[in-house]
């Protein structure tokens, strides 16, 4: 089936049972969004979430990197979907499934491991003593591959705290609605993906050429690439620019919003190996909130590291510290993280968040369900007509989107 795998898996975490099912032949052709099908499968189950990729994820269309975590519920649709950026959605797509449904809760902590058409839950109780970075490292070490993409959680998710946050390998910025708590209440410490498969395309050369043409148009619109500073004025301050090491793009993105910062080593040394892990920042609301509070850039980055390791959403953490009235600094944040809060949900719209990339939540959900990064596509203009030639070359049929 061009562009998609045509297959999904359901894992009952309580029993460990795994079942697989085929998707309809017209899954990528019907014009219905992927989420309609995912929701249909979720609706038939009592307590489930899904991790999936979009129809165009891993295609050559610019910034077709996105995946998602989905839950059903009564909140607005944009609150029930968490974007996955970086390479996670792509690894998932190439692992052989379009989405994985997880239902019930495991008896002991462990992680989802998906690769080469196999999906399984791996019990791993010892891992629960680690933070999110330790969980990513442990899975990569255990499975013997540094390229495994890990959606990890930290100690905050283990207690299902509502402001816990999913962490993509080591970095945070996607999960503003407590999806990590959905993992925590299921004893799910992480979800790991490695995809060695290939995407079937009807006309690979035609798809490549038309995607390339589209990217050229975008580059002429986008202006100068400047990492996070191109997306947020707060990142262009001299103090933070002084810590900048390099910019990093997600799969297929020609205009990265991600900047890697170093606080202990000389950031001008362009070696990739070093003793300091540094931090890849793309969480615009967190950077803007802490800049507005007047935190130094070193403290800002250090707080982002601490929040990511704990699997805690940084804006709610900083808000909570500020509400205590004694000023926001690294020590106060560390203390709140160690005591596990409280840090109530933010409760306001956060400009710069992925979910607010578009003025309307419907475009955010639609863009994500297609597998396209909302931040990028909001910037270039989410015009489905502009995609049609590249999609038609991939599918071998009229563009249904």
Binding residues vs ligand SF4 (CB under 6 A): 63, 65, 85, 249-250, 253, 256-258, 282, 373, 375-376
Closest separation in Å from C-beta 377 to ligand SF4: 8
SS3 assignment for 19-52: EEEECCCCCCCCCCCHHHHHHHHHHCCCCEEEEE
Q: Do residues 257 and 377 lie in contact, with contact meaning Cβ atoms separated by under 8 Å?
A: no
Give the integer Cα–Cα distance in Å for 327 and 237.
22
Q: 6 or 227, CB closer to ligand SF4? A: 227
Q: Which single residue is written with the structure tokens 């050229």?
A: 216
Smallest separation (angstroms) from ligand SF4 to the CB of 108: 34
Q: Between 167 and 295, name the residue whose CB sits nearer to ligand SF4.
A: 167
Residue 281 or 395: which CB sits closer to ligand SF4?
281
* Nearest distance from C-beta of residue 186 to ligand SF4, angstroms: 27
Assigned token pair, 168 = 């993509």
- Shortest distance in whole angstroms from residue 278 CB to ligand SF4: 17
Judged by CB, which is closer to ligand SF4: 42, or 378? Answer: 378
Distance CA 286, CA 292 (A): 10
The three-point CA angle 169-135-53 to 5° equals 40
Q: Which is nearer to ligand SF4, 85 or 153 (CB)?
A: 85
Kindly tell me which of 250 and 300 has the beta carbon lying closer to ligand SF4.
250
How near is the Cβ of 63 to ligand SF4 at its closest, in Å? 4
- Of 88 and 297, the one with the shorter C-beta distance to ligand SF4 is 88
In angstroms, rounded to a whole number, what is the distance separating the alpha carbons of residues 236 and 281? 13
| Phi, psi of 191, deg, nearest 5 | -130, 125
Q: How far is the CB of 282 from ligand SF4 (least distance, A)?
A: 6
Pick between residue 4 and residue 65 the one whose CB is nearest to ligand SF4. Answer: 65
Q: DSSP for 151-219? A: EE--HHHHTT-TTB--EETTB--S--S-HHHHHHTTTEEEEEEE-------SSHHHHHHHHHHHHHHHH
Residue with the two structure tokens 């609301």: 285
Cβ(9)–Cβ(103) under 8 Å? no
Token couple for 87: 């390479």
End-to-end CA distance of the chain: 16
Minimum CB separation of residue 351 from ligand SF4 in Å reads 16
How many Cβ atoms from other residues are within 10 Å of residue 390's Cβ?
26
DSSP letter assigned to residue 151: E
Q: Name the minimum Å distance from CB 380 to ligand SF4.
A: 10
Angle, helices 314-323 vs 297-310, to 10°: value is 110
């Amino acid at each position: 089936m061009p562009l998609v795998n045509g297959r999904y898996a359901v894992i009952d975490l309580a029993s460990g049972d795994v079942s697989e099912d085929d998707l309809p032949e017209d899954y990528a052709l019907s014009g219905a969004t992927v989420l309609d099908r995912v929701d249909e499968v979720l609706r038939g189950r009592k307590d489930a979430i899904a991790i999936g990729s979009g129809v165009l994820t891993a295609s050559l269309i610019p910034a077709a990197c996105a995946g998602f975590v989905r839950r059903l519920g009564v909140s607005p649709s944009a609150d029930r979907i968490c974007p996955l950026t970086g390479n996670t959605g792509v690894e998932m797509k190439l692992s052989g499934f379009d989405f994985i449904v997880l239902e019930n809760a495991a008896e002991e902590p462990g992680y989802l491991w998906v690769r080469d058409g196999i999906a399984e839950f791996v019990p791993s109780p010892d891992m629960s003593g680690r933070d999110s970075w330790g969980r990513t490292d442990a899975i990569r070490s255990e499975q013997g591959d540094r390229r495994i993409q890990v959606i990890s959680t930290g100690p905050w998710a283990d207690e299902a705290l509502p402001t816990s946050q999913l962490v993509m390998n080591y970095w945070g910025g996607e999960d503003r609605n407590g999806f990590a708590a959905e993992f925590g209440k299921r004893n799910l410490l992480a979800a790991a993906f490695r995809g060695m498969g290939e995407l079937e395309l009807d006309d690979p050369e035609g798809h490549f050429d038309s995607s390339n043409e589209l990217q050229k148009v975008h580059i002429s619109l986008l202006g100068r690439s400047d990492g996070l500073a191109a997306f947020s004025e707060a990142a262009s301050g001299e103090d933070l620019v002084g810590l900048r090491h390099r910019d990093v793009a997600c799969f297929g993105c020609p205009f990265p919003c991600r900047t890697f910062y170093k606080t202990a080593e000389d950031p001008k040394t362009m070696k990739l190996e070093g003793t300091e892990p540094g931090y890849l920042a793309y969480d615009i609301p967190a950077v803007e909130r802490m800049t507005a509070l007047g935190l130094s850039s070193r403290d800002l980055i250090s707080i982002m590291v601490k929040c990511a390791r704990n699997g805690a959403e940084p804006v709610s953490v900083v808000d909570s510290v500020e509400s205590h009235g004694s000023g926001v600094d690294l020590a106060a944040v560390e203390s709140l993280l160690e005591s596990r809060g409280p840090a109530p949900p933010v409760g306001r719209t956060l400009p710069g968040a992925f979910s607010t990339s578009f003025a309307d939540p419907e475009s955010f959900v639609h863009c994500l369900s297609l597998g396209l990064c909302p931040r990028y596509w909001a910037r270039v203009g989410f015009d489905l007509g502009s995609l049609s030639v590249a999609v038609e070359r991939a599918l071998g049929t009229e563009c249904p989107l």
